[in-house]
Structure 1
Amino acid sequence: MASHILEIAENNRYLSIAHGNVCVKEQEKIIARIPLDMLACVMLTAQGVTVSKTFLMSMGEANIPVLIMGSNYLPVSMALPVSSHYRHLIVAQEQVRAGEVIKKQIWQKIVIEKIRNQAEALEKCVLPHDSAVKKHVEKLKFLAQRVRSGDKDNKEGQAAQIYWQALFGRGFLRDVEEEGINSFLNYGYAVVRAVCARALCASGLLPLFGVHHHNQFNAFCLADDIMEPFRPFVDCLVYEYVQKNEVLVLDTQAKRFLSSILQNPFYLQKEESTLLPLVLKAAQGIYKSYCAKEVLLEFPHLKEQ
């Protein structure tokens, strides 16, 4: 099952395909072979990496995203398949025809689930050793109940102000350009974003057409939409790592720990599952919602409900 991330962090590496495996070469020597069916995504963080056309073709055919990472582990490009679903045109037509009403209702659902998972993250991570955070948990649950269609009142932003301070302390500011905790969050979110983009393509949806995100320079608006409720899963991993390590260095050990999000258990309707099937279910829920003109979308939680 696709549950591993291949990151190329060293220069002078060459990636190719041979007999269903990704081959990583240094000069002419093969230093690693990874079966295609094990990979959830490939991340290129080194400056000097060479890939073959066959490699990119195979990644597309296997629906494996290839992320090109920029500064502070922010993805600047992503290679995705243009067709990985047998009803691609039909699905895309439903997506393009979707009206603003259903899009706003879907976004409402996404924000509700994101805030609920933020509350669960505080309960799981902070509450066991800081009872004062309970009031913040209750505030988040209160906000989640009052999210309106399209989140007109920006309950998402209000929740963020409460959440980040409660999770990482009053001095913490979420800034994608900063190092430390922020770079850890960036890395974890990049993994989830790639998984979301992969699931959308597998469902026949076009990632560039979002329900809320509409940046003209962003080809992955829908991926950025559906990943929102999954962000607190990353936050919990980062929190756990911060508590165990005095020095924050995004090294191989830290990346391996953050990548474990692909194997960690999450819960949907009391059933335990790993991340990839749950993200795929959410992507399929987007399409079902477009077709039915009502929200048929479910997201997992950190703990059994």
Structure 2
Amino acid sequence: MIKRTLYFGNPAYLSLKNAQLVVKLPEVEKNDSLPEHFKKQSERTIPVEDIGVIVLDNKQITITHGLLESLLENNCAVITCDRKSLPVGLLLPLYGNTTQNERFRNQLDVSVPLKKQLWQQTIQYKIRNQAAVLGGMRQVVVKNMLVWANEVKSGDSNNIEARAAAYYWRNLFVEIPEFTRDREGCPPNNLLNYGYAILRAVVARALVTSGLLPTLGIHHHNRYNAYCLADDIMEPYRPYVDELVVKIVDTGIACKELTTELKAQLLKIPVIDVMIDGQRSPLMIAVGQTTASLYKCFTGELRKILYPEKV
């Protein structure tokens, strides 16, 4: 079942009652001029088991410990945002699988050659998906990217990823001459940053559900990064975020400020349709298939990660 992504951008009081998330609005609760029946009708309830991701984007949001406990027990990812409304924190359950200890050990025992092979596969899928977005959205030559994907070696020792990225970003936003892909760069970098943060949370949640440690990557190993594995596994999924951002930009809408309307469109990322294993699936479900296949690679049951392919 596809889980819901909830966004809270206004002051709210979030609590738990009968396994339901209860949403109350302080402005309504404290307004004595409103009738009681209206106040009660303003309350919303949502089954906790239906929630996959929650985004908290207001300093005046209050959330009870009981609700947090229930959300984590149901493998929900809780994202908190900073004053610029950009995701700054991610809360995940400590235990997402019944065989957690065994799975951690299998992950810790993975050999370096296997990690390099898995990274090779990851980059190949990423470049192919980038080529599909670039060819589909900008109708530019992508045969070179497909050739590069086939040239990726174990561990991407020849750094084909960087070569493909340079060509990709140079041609994706040609109508914005000053654009370079940089976290602090000009728009639509702000949209990309927000979209990737949502994607990262979805991937991290799926890794925990599969009983894996999001910290221990197959390639990324920054000592200050708590989500190295999530950053690895999300790579082939990034082009789906890029494609959504391109569609938004092409409408001509102003992107300098990350408005509520823009966030609403980016929060659709978990339900984007992708093709994986020959079937259409919402991105959130596909990510779960990817992380499950990754664990099987760690145990030796598989030699290939299951990633989506853009067509």
| TM-score exceeds 0.5 | yes
User: Which residue in 2 is equivalent to 1:148?
Assistant: 153
Letter in 1 for 2:205: R
Alpha-carbon distance in structure 2 between the residues aligned to 1:78 and 1:183: 18
The runs of 5 or more residues in structure 1 that have no matched partner are 128-132
Matching residue of 1:130: none
Q: What's 1:96 paired with?
A: 108
Please show how residues 142-181 of structure 1 align to structure 2 within 5 Å: 142-169=147-174, 170-178=177-185, 180-181=187-188
Amino acid at match of 2:277: Q
* Residues 121 and 304, structure 2, Cα contact 8 Å, conserved in 1: no
1:102-136 deviation line (CA, Å, top 9, x unaligned): 11111111111000100001122111xxxxx12xx
Q: Does 1:207 align with 2:219?
A: no
CA distance 1:289–1:283, change in 2 (3 Å): same
Q: Which runs of 5+ in 2 are unaligned?
A: 30-38
C-alpha deviations, 1:200-238, integer Å up to 9, x for none?
A: 111100111111111122111111110000000000000
Asked if 1:122 corresponds to 2:134, the answer is: yes
Corresponding residue number in structure 1 for 2:234: 227
**Alignment match, 2:63:** 51
Q: 1 CA distance for matches of 2:21 and 2:301?
A: 42
Q: Distance in 2 between matches of 1:87 and 1:148?
A: 34
Q: Distance in 1 between matches of 2:84 and 2:301?
A: 40
Paired position in structure 1 for 2:6: 6
Does 2:251 match 1:251? no
Worse-superposed segment, 68-77 or 146-155: 68-77
| 178-187 vs 93-102, greater mean Cα deviation | 178-187
Structure 2 CA distance, aligned partners of 1:283 and 1:74? 26
Q: How far apart are residue 72 of structure 1 and its match?
A: 5.0
1:247 partner letter: A
Could you tell me how far apart the structure 2 residues matched to 1:236 and 1:180 are? Answer: 15
Q: CA, structure 1 residues 272+31, in 2 after alignment: closer, same or farther (shift >3 Å)?
A: same
Q: Deviations over 1:228-285 (max 9, x none)?
A: 0000000000000111133124222222222223223211233111112210111011
TM-score by length of 1: 0.91
CA change 1:255–1:86 in 2 (3 A) is same
Q: Offset of 1:37 from its aligned partner?
A: 3.1
* Correspondence for 1:262: 270
Question: How far is the alpha carbon of 1:301 from its aligned partner?
Answer: 1.8
* Aligned counterparts of 1:254 and 1:32: Cα–Cα separation in 2: 24
Range with bigger deviation, 151-160 or 74-83: 74-83
Please list, as runs of the form range in 1=range in 2, the aligned pairs for 1:23-102 lying within 5 A after superposition: 23-27=22-26, 28=29, 31-70=43-82, 74-102=86-114
Cα pair distance change 1:95/1:86, threshold 3 Å: same
2:35 corresponds in structure 1 to none
Match of 2:23, SS state, is: strand
- Paired amino acid for 1:183: N
- The answer as to whether partners of 2:293 and 2:302 remain within 8 angstroms in 1 is no
**2:196 alignment counterpart:** 189
In structure 1, give the amino acid aligned to 2:105. Q
Quick check: 1:115–1:229 contact (8 Å CA) kept in 2? Answer: yes
Aligned to 2:244: 237
Q: 1:141 to 1:72 in 2, by over 3 A?
A: farther
Give runs of ≥4 in structure 1 deviating > 6 Å.
none
Give the percent of matched residue pairs that are identical in Structure 1 and Structure 2.
37
Bigger Rg over Cα: 2
8 A contact 2:120–2:152 mirrored in 1: yes
